[in-house]
Structure 1
Amino acid sequence: MHRDIVIIGGGATAVAAFTQVVRTPGIASVTTVDPNPVGLGHAFGVSDPLLLCNTSVDVTSLRPDGPSDLLDYLSARGWAARPEDFVPRYLVGHYCRERYLSGRCEAERHGTAVAHHRARATTVRATADGYRVELDDGRRLAATDVLVCLGLDRPRLPELLRPYDGHPRLLPQPYPTGRLRALPDKAEVLVLGSKLSAVDAALVLCADGRRTVMTSPSGRLPAVRTRLCRPDRPLLDSRRWQRLDPRAEDLDRELTRLLLRAIGRAGAGLGLRAQTSSAAVPEERLRQELALAAAGRVPWQDVIAEVIDAINDWTAPWDPALRAEVLGRYRGLMSRYISSIPARNARLISGHLDSGRLSLAPGYPVGIEPVADDDGWEVEWPDGRHERFTHVVCGTGFHTPQLDAAAPGVYRIGPSVVHDAAPEITEDLRLVDPHRGSTERIWVLGAAAHSRTAIVNYLNTAAKQAQRVAAQFTAPAVPAVPAAPSALAA
Structure 2
Amino acid sequence: MTRNLPVVAIIGGGFAGTALALQLAGKAEVTLFEPGPVGPGLAYGTAEPAHLLNVPAAGMSPFPDRPSHFADWLAAQPDAPPPPAEGPRFAPRRLYGRYLQELWAAAATEIRHVPRAVSRVERLGEGGGNGRGFRVTDSAGEVFEADRVVLAVGGFAAGAGAPPHLAGDPWDPAALEGLAPDAPLLLVGLGLTMVDVLLALRDRGHVGPVTAISRHGWLPLSHVTGAFPPPWPMPLVEGAVPGVRAAFCWLRAEAARAAAAGQPWQAVIDGVRPLVQRIWRGWELAERRRFLRHARSAWNLHRHRVAPEAAARIGAELASGGLRPLAARLVEWRVAGEGVEAVLARRAGGTELLRVARIILCTGPEGGRAWREAAPVAGLLAEGLLAEEALGLGLSVSPAGVALDAAGQPVAGIDVLGPLTRGALWEITAVPDIRVQAAALADRIECGKYDIPV
Range of TM-score over shorter length = 0.7 to 0.9
Instruction: Tell whether 2:107 aligns with 1:103.
Output: yes
Alpha-carbon displacement from aligned partner over 1:418-449 (angstroms, at most 9, x marks no partner): 999x8520011110112583433111111121
1:237 aligns with 2:221: no
Question: Is the Cα–Cα contact under 8 Å of residues 193 and 395 in structure 1 kept in the other structure?
Answer: yes
Letter in 2 for 1:91: L
Instruction: Tell me if structure 2 keeps the 8 A contact 1:3–1:144.
Output: yes
Match of 1:377 in 2: 340
Cα offset for 1:193?
0.7
The aligned runs of 1:4-153 (5 Å cut-off) are 4-24=7-27, 27=28, 29-65=29-65, 67-78=67-78, 79=80, 81=83, 84-105=88-109, 108=110, 114-128=111-125, 129-153=132-156
Q: Distance in 1 between matches of 2:289 and 2:405?
A: 21
C-alpha distance in 1, partners of 2:186/2:150? 39
Cα RMSD between the aligned structures?
3.2
Q: What is the rounded CA distance, in whole Å, between the counterparts of 2:146 and 2:40 in structure 1? A: 24
Whole-angstrom distance in 2 between the partners of 1:228 and 1:36: 37
Q: Work out whether residues 181 and 204 of structure 1, in 8 Å CA contact, stay in contact via their aligned partners in 2.
A: no
Query: What CA distance in whole angstroms lies between the structure 2 residues aligned with 1:259 and 1:23?
Result: 47
Contact 1:58 1:230 in 2 (8 A): no
Aligned equivalent of 1:256 = 249
Task: State the distance in 2 between where 1:23 and 1:313 align.
Answer: 32
The aligned residue for residue 417 of structure 2 is 445
CA contact (8 A) 2:397 2:421 kept: yes
* SS of aligned partner of 1:104: helix
The answer to whether the 8 A contact 2:13-2:34 is kept is: yes
Question: Counterparts of 1:229 and 1:354 in 2: how far apart (Å)?
Answer: 26
Partner of 1:172: 168
Cα distance change, pair 364–437 in 1 and its aligned pair in 2 (3 A): closer
Moved more, 379-388 or 12-21: 379-388
- The TM-score, its normalising length taken from structure 1, stands at 0.77
Identical positions, percent: 24
1:278 maps to: none
Distance of aligned partners of 1:140 and 1:369 in 2 relative to their CA distance in 1, 3 Å threshold: farther
Letter in 1 for 2:45: G
Q: In structure 1, list runs of 5 or more residues that go unmatched.
A: 109-113, 158-163, 271-297, 486-490
Cα contact 2:42–2:157 (8 A) shared by 1: no
Aligned positions, number:
426
Instruction: Report deviation, 1:254.
Output: 5.6
Q: 1:147 to 1:172 in 2, by over 3 A?
A: same
Change (3 A) 1:313 1:101: farther
Equivalent position of 1:294 in the other structure: none
Query: What are the Cα deviations for residues 96-127 of structure 1, in whole angstroms up to 9, with x where unaligned?
Result: 1111222334xx3xxxxx22122222332111
Distance 2:64 2:299 in 1: 22
Instruction: Give the match's secondary structure for 2:413.
Output: strand
> CA 1:101–1:323 in 2, change beyond 3 Å: closer, same or farther?
farther
Q: 3-state SS of the aligned residue for 1:87?
A: coil
Between 178-187 and 188-197, report the one with greater CA deviation.
178-187
- Give distance in 2, aligned partners of 1:332 and 1:352: 23
Q: Provide the residue aligned with 2:189 in structure 1.
A: 193
Q: 1:471 to 1:319 in 2, by over 3 A?
A: farther
In the alignment, structure 2 segments of 5+ residues that lack a partner are 126-131
Q: 1:23 to 1:256 in 2, by over 3 A?
A: farther
1:303 aligns with 2:303: no
Distance verdict in 2 for CA 1:127–1:228, change over 3 Å:
farther
Query: What is the distance in 2 between the residues matched to 1:230 and 1:144?
Result: 44
- Give the whole-Å Cα distance in 2 for the aligned partners of 1:326 and 1:384: 29
